[in-house]
Chains A and B, each alone.
Chain A
Amino acid sequence: MNRSLVILLGALVLGVALFGGSYFAGQRACRMTMTRPTDDLAWLREEFHLTDADMAHVRQLHEGYMPQCAEMCAKIAAKKIELQTALANGTNVTADAQKKLIEIGELRAQCQTQMLQHFIEVSQTMPPEQGRRYLAEMQRLTLGFHEQTEQSMSKSAGDMHGHD
């Protein structure tokens, strides 16, 4: 092989190694120094530039909301177990199983309402612009997933059934 080509390839490999090494080193150093594993609300402070006073209000609301959320989640989990039991007894969707599905849906709706209410309350503790941004972001992250799924499902269903 040509000597010049070998030297050039060697230089190229060395350059890639230098770039890659410094890239991963920088990334790792950043993650190690900036990650705060003890605080669940660290993202709010960083993303929405909240002051200590804002954070104190948010933390208070958060601590009030968490037991309610845990209670609702426990109820949903219990209903899910009941649904599985109802479905395990037969091959058809029984009236009991259907009732459990409706109850789970209602519980989820209640829980989502409670969650949205919490987001609104949190947004009100922030400066107006940041509050709007927070609310929009949380709605996108929590409700947007369902919307995307429903849109994709309705599109594929429309294609399959050929609705005109």
Chain B
Amino acid sequence: MLQAGRGRQHSALIINRVVLVQKNSKLWAADKISAAPEPMNKENINPDPGRAAGFAEASDARLGALLREASRNAGPALPPRFQEGVWRRIEEAAAPVKVAGGIAWLDALVTLVLRPRLAMATATVLIVAGALLGVREGNQMVKQDAQARYLAVVAPNSLR
């Protein structure tokens, strides 16, 4: 309510300024001579400049009355620090949602892990590393088996 009232007041002030500017300009005289009313546009917001002064004064009076009435009819007084609270709530709503506790890093990690390229690369690295290690270990085992086989032939257990 209060903000709406302020908005209206501000609009009325702007209208008054425009009217006053037009009163002081040279175009004001030309417009006064012109018989045919011009349509309202950006430069001329009052198509009937002959009555602009009287209209503006009447508008001011009516607007002032309306504002006074609005301020009288305004609801109960706003709680203290109302505006600050409103801004705080707006900032909270606009801020990114924070996940409770230490779960945020977990979510970030999962997001990272689930990236297709990274997942494929990790899987490939794991498979290649596992296979290489397996081949290496298998090679060692083959060597040990062959060594044990040779020893069993040339040096029976009873001699060792």
Binding-face segment, B11-19, B35-43, B142-150: B142-150
A87 CB–B CB distance under 8 Å: no
A-facing residues in B88-110 (Cβ within 8 Å): 103, 106-107, 109-110
| Nearest CB in chain B: distance from A103 CB, A | 14
For A111, the chain B residues whose CB sits under 8 A away are 159
Interface residue count on the B side (C-beta < 8 Å): 39
For B132, the chain A residues whose CB sits under 8 A away are 26
Across the interface, name the chain A residue whose C-beta is closest to B155: A142
| B139 with A43: CB separation less than 8 A | no
Partner of B134, one of A18, A25, A145: A25
For B119, the chain A residues whose CB sits under 8 A away are 11
For B149, the chain A residues whose CB sits under 8 A away are 40, 42-43
A47 to B39, CA, bound (A): 106
| B135 with A4: CB separation less than 8 A | no
A41 CB–B CB distance under 8 Å: yes
B-facing residues in A29-61 (Cβ within 8 Å): 29-31, 34-36, 40-44, 46-47
Binding site for A on B (CB under 8 A): 103, 106-107, 109-110, 113-114, 119, 122-123, 126-135, 137-139, 141-143, 145-147, 149-151, 153-156, 158-160
